[in-house]
Structure 1
Amino acid sequence: MMIRTFIALEIPRDPLSKILEIRDQNFDIKLGVKWETIEKLHITLKFLGDTNSDLINLINDELNNIILKQKKFELTFDRFGMFKKNNIPKILWVNFSKNQYLNAFAREIDQMCSKFGFESELIEFKPHLTLLRIKNEKLVPEVNKLCNVKIPNINFVSDKVIFFESKLLKTGSVYNSIKSFIIS
């Protein structure tokens, strides 16, 4: 059986609340957008996609081995921005200041996943939180305005990695934790 999976770094609630407060203060909420919920905000370290359920325990074991060697590291929110397709904004995100430890951690997870037949990432890892999937072009001026907002220093340490199953429903995606790991 195949299930859709990804590996993510959880962000503590307090820094997330601060980012959402900045977002709400600088975005015209009356536009009726459907924001990603705070429970779904995370840094995707590796999107695996369709995963044979027979591999789940093997991936868990390898992920555990990586995390046992991993030390905690501090992250800092950097700025709001957009991913575009054909020059049209599609995703509003907030990213993080460059962090060599996070990048090395994501690279190690990517290499581990490639041992199980998953494709290695060809593009540079860009850690971010997806805040909004832009489905209405009328939102673009508000999104542009938010992208010009300066984020104050919001630093935090994240110590939880989650291996998720992602189910796509008509109402949106639903994430279920397969296994959680603590970085000590």
Structure 2
Amino acid sequence: MNNKNKHLRTFIALDVNESVQGILRDTILKLERMGFKGNWTKPENLHLTLHFLGDTPVTKITEVAKRMEERIVGFPTFAFNVDKIGYFKSNNHPRVIWMGVEGGNTLKQLHNEIIKSLKLSNIQVTEEEFTPHLTVGRIKKAPEFWEKLIKVLDIERVIVPVSAVHIYSSTLTRTGPIYKKMYSIDFEGGMIING
């Protein structure tokens, strides 16, 4: 296939550290013991999504990376906290269980810069509120008093330093998605092409 016409499923995200990956493992074990069944996030795949691009032409991904570099080089290094468990529900059933992220105005500003980069690249962006979270899993089956059980789960507060934003490709397989880092935009060093 001609590389010019090639599309990749992509998203823009921040990485997390090993402490957060450890909390994810512990949380999944607790949820499984409580009777939750779901498609759990693999610790090595855990990230904070800033924007899901979906199926995007490779040439457009390169353009987005360049626009992001223009907008976020010089952005201040900051940190976000991971400090609670929550969920999204529909019809009184949990759809997604997540770890809450608090990054204050700096995280919101970074998200705004990413959205501006996308608009400059002529990518349609829906204006929905940014709710930063780390997906623990998509729930297939929940125990009867699931809301009360989630409320008793608490996690140790972890601070995650941020000095770069990444563009990942996502290949869906039967055993779960495979993520590959395509570009990293370092706040100080600029763009790094990861192959």
Q: In structure 2, what is the Cα distance between the partners aligned to 1:87 and 1:183?
A: 42
Q: Which residue in 2 is equivalent to 1:151? A: 155
Whether 2:164 is the aligned partner of 1:136: answer: no
The runs of 5 or more residues in structure 2 that have no matched partner are 1-5, 189-195
The one of 160, 177, 180 equivalent to 1:176 is 180
Q: Normalising to structure 1: TM-score of the pair?
A: 0.85
Whether 2:106 is the aligned partner of 1:77: answer: no
* 1:39 to 1:160, Cα distance in 2 relative to 1, 3 A: farther
After TM superposition, the structure 1 = structure 2 runs for residues 46-65 of structure 1, keeping only pairs within 5 Å, are: 46-65=51-70
Q: Percent identity?
A: 27
Judge conservation of contact 1:81–1:92 (CA < 8 Å) in 2. yes
Secondary structure of 1:135 counterpart: strand
Matched to 2:181, the amino acid is S
* 1:134 to 1:71, Cα distance in 2 relative to 1, 3 A: same
Matched to 2:108, the amino acid is N
Q: Normalising to structure 2: TM-score of the pair?
A: 0.81
Q: In structure 1, what is the Cα distance between the partners aligned to 2:25 and 2:129?
A: 29
Matched to 2:140, the amino acid is K
1:24 is displaced (CA, Å) by 5.2
The runs of 5 or more residues in structure 1 that have no matched partner are none
RMSD (CA atoms) = 2.4
Secondary structure of 2:137 counterpart: strand
Q: In structure 1, what is the Cα distance between the partners aligned to 2:163 and 2:75?
A: 10
Q: In structure 1, what is the Cα distance between the partners aligned to 2:93 and 2:127?
A: 23
Q: In structure 2, what is the Cα distance between the partners aligned to 1:148 and 1:107?
A: 34
Count the aligned residue pairs.
182
Matched to 1:5, the amino acid is T
Judge conservation of contact 2:68–2:113 (CA < 8 Å) in 1. no
Q: Which residue in 1 is equivalent to 2:191? A: none
* 1:101 to 1:8, Cα distance in 2 relative to 1, 3 A: same
